[in-house]
Amino acid sequence: MTSKVIYLGDLRTENLHIKSGNSFVTDAPLDNNGKGEAFSPTDTVATGLASCMLTVMGIKARDLNVDMSGSAAEVTKVMASNPRRISEINVVLSFPFQADDKIKKILENTAKTCPVHYSLHPDIKKDIVFNWE
């Protein structure tokens, strides 16, 4: 088992990672009857894309002896209706280090092949921007 999700009531869940014991709460967003006091489930999907991209880039960067510490992503999720779904995820990745064109290309290609990117429905538009120092 990977995780356990408990419905707390009032459109809120607690999500427990079994192996580590770490947890986080989700809340329905304001535009869908919620309080918007925590990540919504769709927020976690969009954020998961950026997290996955940075993680696999970090693995590849380590193999290339490149320190990616301090790299960051800004994520914007766009929703659609009928049916309600994520229609677009915009990720702006910023890197506080200099790299040559070869390293940049390798890391960018790695990001675009992360498992979450491949797992998202092809109808979800993914706009990825890489900002290098």
| 106, pLDDT greater than 90 | yes
Give the model confidence (pLDDT) of 16-31 as tens digits.
999 999 999 999 999 9
| 133, pLDDT greater than 90 | no
Give the model confidence (pLDDT) of 28-67 as tens digits.
999 999 999 999 999 999 999 999 999 999 999 999 999 9
| 88, pLDDT greater than 90 | yes
Indicate whether this model's pTM tops 0.75. Answer: yes
Closest CA to 26 of 12, 5, 45: 12
Instruction: Give the span between the Cα atoms of 14 and 27, in whole angstroms.
Output: 9
> How high is the pLDDT of residue 129?
98
> How high is the pLDDT of residue 122?
96
Closest CA to 76 of 103, 45, 120: 45
Q: What is the mean pLDDT of the chain?
A: 97
